[in-house]
Chains A and B, each alone.
Chain A
Amino acid sequence: MIIDWNHFTPWSALAGGVLIGVATALFILLNGRIAGITGIIGGLFTSRIHDAGWRLAFIIGLIAAPLVWQLFSQLPTIQIDADNGLLAIAGLIVGISTRYGSGCTSGHGVCGISRLSPRSIVATLAFMGTGFLTVFVVHHLIGA
């Protein structure tokens, strides 16, 4: 394992993580809800109108974040190397599987682990594991 010290950004990573934690804390302690994106979106497919408001409000906040950021500063680099076909396939997989597994990086990885939920700990180990494995296969075995 070789650590990429040139791209390692410990302080902004930690501060960004704390902000995510603060958002999660506000959401559970004020709105009484788990800040799990999969669950928030999933509920829009099934829940009734009166339950849609807070879901949409949270999502609008997420979408507005880069716009608000740009009022104060330039956005950091955003680089997507995958082509459109791969993005579509990956998007489909992520959409179906996160609903199947009842959560993603936010719901299981942040909220679930913070709740010390055994389900979320298993889920996080599972998706981190296949995440590492997939990058290894794609970047080192196939060599794309």
Chain B
Amino acid sequence: MNTPMRKHLGSITALAFALLSGLIFGLGLILAGMANPAKVLAFLDLAGLWDPSLALVMGGAIAVGLVAFSIARKRSLSFLGLPISLPTSRIIDKRLVLGSLAFGIGWGLVGICPAPAFVLLGTGSIKGIIFLVAMLVGMGIFELLEKYSK
């Protein structure tokens, strides 16, 4: 097989695995109950009738993640031969803290975070789509603010 052909097929393989990863991620969210905003809010409601399920979602995901990232950290190329890109910043700054604090407010208001917003789109939920569109507009606003603050 010639080189351009291999490269082309390689990128199709990478796309197929990206699709598969997204699919498994989404199925995990549905199985876990994370795609149900009422269940997310029941987890965040410590003072009400508390549903601790989502702590186990995090636990299960992190248990597998710890193994995966300990392998990834020792490699520079993935098993498909692609560069492994891990975040390098170690600075805990105002942007990180204020951004995350504000994210928790938005999350706590309705019980939807970015990944489940896309799963909700796939269920055809109108309310989910309203949230998703507003979220994408918000990300667009961020880009504009970044562009004009420089």
Do A20 and B61 form a contact, CB below 8 Å, given A7-B51, A29-B68?
yes
Contact indicator per residue, chain A 100-117, by CB within 8 Å of chain B (1) or not (0): 111111101111111111
Q: Which residues of A contact B123 (CB under 8 A)?
A: 66, 75, 78
* Range for the number of chain B residues in contact with chain A: 35 or more
Q: Which residues of A contact B119 (CB under 8 A)?
A: 62-63, 65-66
Which of A32, A61, A87, A109 interacts with B85 by CB under 8 Å? A32
Which of B53, B95, B145 interacts with A13 by CB under 8 Å? B53
A15 within 8 A of B: yes
Chain A interface helix/strand/loop/mixed: helix
B4 within 8 A of A: no
Decide if A16 touches B24 in the complex (CB within 8 Å).
Answer: no
- B18-37 CB contacts (< 8 Å) to partner A: 18-37
Do A115 and B86 form a contact, CB below 8 Å, given A18-B63, A78-B120?
yes
Decide if B21 touches A114 in the complex (CB within 8 Å).
Answer: no
Which of B68, B130, B139 interacts with A95 by CB under 8 Å? B139
Instruction: For the complex formed, measure the closest distance between the CB of A15 and the CB atoms of chain B, giving whole angstroms.
Output: 6
Which of A19, A87, A88, A105 interacts with B24 by CB under 8 Å? A19
Q: Which residues of A contact B18 (CB under 8 A)?
A: 27, 31, 33, 53-55, 57-58, 61
B9 within 8 A of A: no
Decide if B139 touches A99 in the complex (CB within 8 Å).
Answer: yes
A49 within 8 A of B: no
Q: Which residues of B contact A46 (CB under 8 A)?
A: 143
Contact indicator per residue, chain B 54-71, by CB within 8 Å of chain A (1) or not (0): 101111111111111101
CA distance A26 to B61 in the complex (A): 12
Decide if A101 touches B31 in the complex (CB within 8 Å).
Answer: no
Q: Which residues of A contact B38 (CB under 8 A)?
A: 77, 79-81
Decide if A110 touches B135 in the complex (CB within 8 Å).
Answer: no
Decide if A26 touches B21 in the complex (CB within 8 Å).
Answer: yes
Which of A22, A28, A62 interacts with B22 by CB under 8 Å? A62
Of the listed residues A2, A90, A132, the one surrounded by the most CB atoms of chain B closer than 10 A to its CB is A90
CA distance A93 to B77 in the complex (A): 36
Instruction: For the complex formed, measure the closest distance between the CB of B145 and the CB atoms of chain A, giving whole angstroms.
Output: 8
Q: Which residues of B contact A2 (CB under 8 A)?
A: 48-50
Decide if B118 touches A62 in the complex (CB within 8 Å).
Answer: yes
Instruction: For the complex formed, measure the closest distance between the CB of B67 and the CB atoms of chain A, giving whole angstroms.
Output: 7
CA distance A75 to B41 in the complex (A): 19
In order of increasing CB-CB distance, the 10 nearest A-B pairs are A95-B138, A61-B22, A16-B32, A65-B26, A17-B60, A101-B99, A21-B64, A91-B134, A114-B65, A134-B108
Question: B residues engaging A (CB < 8 A)?
Answer: 11, 14-39, 41-42, 44-54, 56-69, 71-73, 77-80, 82-87, 89-92, 95-115, 117-123, 125, 127-128, 130-143, 145
